[in-house]
Structure 1
Amino acid sequence: MAGKQSQLEALIRPVIESLGYQLWGIEFKSQGKNSMLRIYIDTLEKDKGIQLEDCEVVSRQISGVLDVEDPITEEYTLEVSSPGVDRQLFSLEQYVAWAGAEVNVRLRIPFEGRRRYKGIVKGVEDQDVVLIVDDHELLLPIESIDKAQVIPRFD
């Protein structure tokens, strides 16, 4: 699956960046007729959010590239979305940028008997995400993280 992610990223990142957006992340769920390719985009301007029209523009452009290159041979639905306030973190750079944020983390395989953690992102060491959980520092290899989602704060 990592190979498919890399291939998709190589195809669509230049398209998204040429339109003036940032590729935040890619999710591909292969489920037969219900397969889904979800692309998260963000704006480079901190005071401006992603609007529906932004998603439509990016979707049309990406759709054309995917139709020509055909990296996914099965039927799928393409969805382009904003990462939102409860954004998922995909890369080490994003963990660094979101240091101090509270996150829910789901691991691919259990670590210390658990697959789910809630904690504060401290940062990154090499290829590991440093997470503070109940005053304990955990080093979680980025490849072991299935999903990490920011818990929004409204204060």
Structure 2
Amino acid sequence: MIIGNATNHIQQFKELIKLHNHYESNDTSSQRALAFASAAWHLIEWVLKETNPKPSSKQLEEFRKTLYSKCPYLEMMHDITNTNKHRYLSNPKSNLSVVRKQGSIFTGAFSNAFGGDSLILEMENCVKMKFVDVANQILCFWLTYYREVLNIPDDKLTIKMDDYFI
């Protein structure tokens, strides 16, 4: 998945930041949440394929598992993204059971047909989380990963207002 004009994983990360900010400006927008979820999950492949240009499917799966262990919320982004794409999820990664807007339940793709104050992620164990909180945790994870694992300096991760458009 290519977002904007990204040609490398750093540009894709900057697009994720933009999508996060765009979502936060209207955190009841299921369309914006879905765009963020998809970009957050697909960034895994962007990073791996630039650090290992021809990864095997086993290497990709191992890399995903490594990142999932550091940020389990990425598993939720997998489930949300693939449910939206395929309607049904045959191989869930998380124990996410329902995505809900206030007063409404939907288990497939997000829809603008529902109104409410926030998007809620409900787990099989009945734990509930706001999508905005999960999105914040994912963005923090990726920022830390870029800084500490990939050793990318902050000036390379900064978005200039000139480049900011959504």
Which structure is higher in strand share? Answer: 1
**Bigger-Rg structure (1/2):** 1
Q: Which has the higher contact order (CA 8 A, sep 6+)?
A: 2
TM-score by length of 2: 0.27
TM-score by length of 1: 0.28
Which structure is higher in helix share? Answer: 2
